[in-house]
Amino acid sequence: MHKTIAIACAVLALLPLAAAAVTVTTPQGPQEVFARGDLVDAVALLRLAGVEVAFAPAAGSYSAAAGEHEVQFTPGGSLAVVDGRLTPLPGPLRLLDGHTVCAQATAAVLLAPFGWTVRAAGSGFELAHAAAGDAITVTAVRAPAGTTLVVRGSAQRPQVVAAAGSVLLQFAKPVTLAQPIAPDAELLGGELRGNALTLRLARGSEVVNTYPLDNPPRFIIQLGAAAAAAPIATPRSGPLVVLDPGHGGDDQGAKGPGSELEKDITLAVARAVAAKLQSEGVNARLTRDGDDTVALTERTAIANRLQATVFVSIHANASPARGAHGAETYYMSADASDQQAAQSAARENASASPDTVQLILWDLAHVANLNNSARLARDIQERLNELQGIKDRGIRQAPFVVLTGATMPAALVEVGFLSNAEEAARLAQPDTQQQIAGAIADAIVAYLHEPTPTPGTTPAPAASPAGTPTP
């Protein structure tokens, strides 16, 4: 008997590539998933729950995202970043035969933010919605101005990702389809996977606008002809730049003496950068294209979900020193390079509370990106210096929450000081906004054309005169 077990073990040890599988019961039926002993494929479980999982080779980490939630984890790690917060895992994630595996308790922590549970069931596992969810219906309503798709039965405001021929609605909390989607001339069909509803659209039809309505709660997707598309085009291939107009909605950001609002200036500049990039054949998307409130952590989550090549957050500064003027470019660091950098970060972080430990750990996990982020920031600052006739201003580092968790090179630009009356008046002018946007777009294009340094090399030190080199 013991001998048989010993032989069996020896055979298993000699066949490391023999994949073991376990049955996972899901709402869609049983599925086979890689497992070994108590360890089960964490990425496969997340995907079965309809969560989008992407691996960022530069960062060496996974980003799992659905709705407003994002979980980042690293093979070999015992920590995850759950919705921007560092979270200890019950057990480590390990790499086995190319699969990222963990114990059931760890998988449960990774699935929980998305409203899913996993428990042992028989010799396998059961994957289930934590809650039954909103029962939704989708109908196409024809009107002279065009067709609208109406999602009824949920007060949730889903994240919308429009692509050629389809639109993805990612709900934060579980939803179920109350009835199958009836095909229409413009709505060909749809399917629900986890909390993600994909609607297939007729050729030539695309999303023009989306918005929620109340009493009863509905979510409206306005369709239009592809020719009448929104100013921001759908990404095709090649690099994708995600531009983040700072603040918006309830959060107006800094305010100038002439009532210039940061949230308006950042949107105007970001739109102009996107237009300039697209005129040069570079795909660009905005984290908001209206006066919307978007959480800081959601902004990088959008970039991660779209697997953006670079992320640039656009802001305008304010300082108690009235004479402060000119643009400044920052990249992520746990430590501010100088006191003014620290003040800028504190102001921009006002709508979130940074956890220093979290920032330090995240910073260290992204050393490869820091190098490229520094290069991106330097390219932007050099062109803004040229534009504004400033000789010696370098890039700075500071712990900006909006840059935490970006799995791609990321920078934050303060285009000027709204606390300076003259500069505030200039920044509110479309001409100035176009010039600044042109400089930022040129810098991004230059960055994309530079050869990428080998990941893992030492990050370039900040060029700031008061710069603290990254540890």
Interface residues toward Zn ion, by CB under 5 A: 246, 253, 315, 348
Residue 80, C-beta contacts closer than 8 angstroms, at least 6 positions apart: 71, 72, 73, 86, 87, 89, 109, 110
- In whole angstroms, how close is the CB of 151 to Zn ion at the nearest point? 33
Q: What is the dihedral of CA 169, 400, 358, 404, to 10 degrees?
A: 30
Q: Are strands 175-177 and 134-141 parallel, antiparallel or unpaired?
A: parallel
- In whole angstroms, how close is the CB of 124 to Zn ion at the nearest point? 49
Q: Which is nearer to Zn ion, 246 or 399 (CB)?
A: 246
Cross-strand bridge partners of residue 57? none
Q: Which is nearer to Zn ion, 239 or 253 (CB)?
A: 253
Judged by DSSP in three states, 73 sits in strand
Q: Which is nearer to Zn ion, 315 or 383 (CB)?
A: 315
Q: Which is nearer to Zn ion, 158 or 246 (CB)?
A: 246
- In whole angstroms, how close is the CB of 420 to Zn ion at the nearest point? 15
- In whole angstroms, how close is the CB of 253 to Zn ion at the nearest point? 4
Question: How would DSSP label each residue in 197-210?
Answer: EEEEE-TTEEEEEE
Report CA Rg, the chain: 24
Q: Which is nearer to Zn ion, 198 or 351 (CB)?
A: 351
- In whole angstroms, how close is the CB of 247 to Zn ion at the nearest point? 5
409, 243 contact by CB (below 8 A):
no
Tokens of 99: 């699969």
Q: Which is nearer to Zn ion, 190 or 246 (CB)?
A: 246
Q: Which is nearer to Zn ion, 296 or 444 (CB)?
A: 296
Q: Cα(first)–Cα(last) distance of the chain, in Å?
A: 56
Residue nearest to Zn ion (CB): 315
Tokens of 14: 């000699």
- In whole angstroms, how close is the CB of 65 to Zn ion at the nearest point? 24
Return the half-sphere exposure (C-beta side, CA atoms, 13 A cut-off) of residue 414. Answer: 33
* Region of residue 416 (phi > 0: left; psi between -120 and 50: alpha; otherwise: beta): left
Residue 144 DSSP one-character state: T
The residue type at 74: T
- In whole angstroms, how close is the CB of 315 to Zn ion at the nearest point? 3
